[in-house]
């Protein structure tokens, strides 16, 4: 798809930006002219190909090896990277994990890990970037929630709680920081084909597909299009919203 240069001169952070939905968002932003600070939990050397591809669009791309659920790590690395970029305009909290299981048998570890990576990480990154956005009196924060944060889903109490928490946090932040020109919105994707969903049984994917009006599962690029809109000035008056990307379930 042809992407217009609507992020020229902007710098964006995308957590988990080298894989799946995060990678598609990074690519859309790079094509739109943005500079990128990406995070991964993998070895940086394993990401060379993705980085070369993203850099081929002409912008600056830096990769941080960072566990976004660790406040100390985030506070130590993110502000330094942002300072080196001369500020930041867009933050996408995309990193996420699932540890599915029924509540009756869910381990405390599976609860805590999902809440840490899918919810607390946003607290960590937002606190790291807000001083920069606040000084500029502008910014767009995009939190990747999920449709299950709105509807719930059997077997995903931990994940749904984290994703619903992200929505509550975003709506509150939108009110707190709106007066400073900082917008915060969520995207609530449905079933998107990535490594995260590849491990689910084939029958489950088929059942989801049958429930989608468009009769297809989503792609990372479908979500990236919404993120691009929210990151750019095209959405200048959109704040505190949750935009679904489900094909109409």
Touching ligand NAI, residues 69-88 (CB under 6 A):
69
Candidates 36, 37, 47, 68; binder of ligand NAI (CB under 6 A) is: 68
- Tell me how far apart the alpha carbons of residues 163 and 149 are, in angstroms, rounded to a whole number: 5
Does position 189 interact with ligand NAI (CB under 6 A)? The reply is yes
- Tell me how far apart the alpha carbons of residues 22 and 15 are, in angstroms, rounded to a whole number: 7
Confirm if 220 and 248 have CB atoms less than 8 A apart: no
Does position 21 interact with ligand NAI (CB under 6 A)? The reply is yes
Shortest CB 95 distance to ligand NAI, Å: 3
**Beta strand pairing call for 139-144 and 182-189:** parallel
- Tell me how far apart the alpha carbons of residues 88 and 78 are, in angstroms, rounded to a whole number: 10
- Which stretch in 15-23, 43-51, 102-110, 178-186 sits in contact with ligand NAI by CB under 6 A? 15-23
Residue matched to tokens 């956005």: 133
- Which stretch in 6-14, 79-87, 195-203, 230-238 sits in contact with ligand NAI by CB under 6 A? 195-203
The encoded tokens of residue 149 equal 């944060």
Measured torsion, CA atoms of residues 48, 54, 60, 66, in degrees rounded to the nearest 10 = -50
Contacts of 79-82 with C-beta under 8 Å, sequence gap 24+, read 79/128, 79/129, 79/131, 79/132, 81/13, 81/37, 82/11, 82/13, 82/37, 82/128, 82/129, 82/132
Shortest CB 10 distance to ligand NAI, Å: 21
Candidates 34, 95, 186, 230; binder of ligand NAI (CB under 6 A) is: 95
Active site residue 237: no
- Tell me how far apart the alpha carbons of residues 220 and 104 are, in angstroms, rounded to a whole number: 32
Shortest CB 20 distance to ligand NAI, Å: 2
Does position 16 interact with ligand NAI (CB under 6 A)? The reply is yes
Does position 194 interact with ligand NAI (CB under 6 A)? The reply is yes
Candidates 7, 11, 14, 19; binder of ligand NAI (CB under 6 A) is: 19
Shortest CB 171 distance to ligand NAI, Å: 18
Candidates 20, 59, 165, 247; binder of ligand NAI (CB under 6 A) is: 20
Residues tagged active-site: 159
Q: Which residues bind ligand NAI (CB under 6 A)?
A: 15-16, 18-22, 39-41, 66-69, 94-97, 117, 144, 146, 189, 191-192, 194-197
């Amino acid at each position: 798809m042809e992407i217009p240069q609507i992020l020229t001169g902007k710098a964006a952070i995308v957590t988990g930006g080298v894989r799946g939905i995060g990678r598609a968002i990074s690519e859309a932003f790079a094509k739109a002219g943005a500079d990128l600070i990406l995070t991964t939990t993998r070895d940086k050397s394993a990401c060379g190909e993705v980085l070369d591809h993203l850099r081929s669009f002409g912008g600056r791309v830096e990769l941080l090896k960072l566990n976004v659920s660790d406040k100390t790590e985030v506070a130590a690395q993110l502000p330094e990277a942002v300072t080196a970029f001369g500020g930041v305009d867009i933050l996408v909290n995309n990193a996420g994990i699932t540890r599915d299981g029924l509540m009756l048998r869910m381990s405390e570890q599976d609860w805590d890990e999902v809440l840490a990576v899918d919810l607390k990480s946003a607290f960590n990154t937002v606190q790291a970037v807000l001083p920069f956005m606040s000084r500029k009196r502008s910014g767009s924060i995009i939190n990747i929630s999920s449709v299950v944060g709105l509807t719930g889903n059997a077997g995903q109490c931990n994940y749904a709680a984290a994703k619903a928490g992200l929505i509550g946090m975003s709506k509150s932040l939108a009110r707190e920081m709106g007066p400073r020109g900082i917008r915060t919105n969520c995207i609530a994707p449905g079933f998107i084909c990535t490594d995260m969903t590849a491990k689910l049984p084939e029958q489950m994917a088929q059942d989801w597909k049958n429930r989608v009006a468009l009769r297809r599962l989503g792609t990372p690029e479908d979500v990236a299009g919404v993120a691009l809109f929210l990151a750019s000035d095209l959405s200048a008056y959109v704040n505190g919203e949750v935009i679904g990307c489900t094909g109409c379930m």
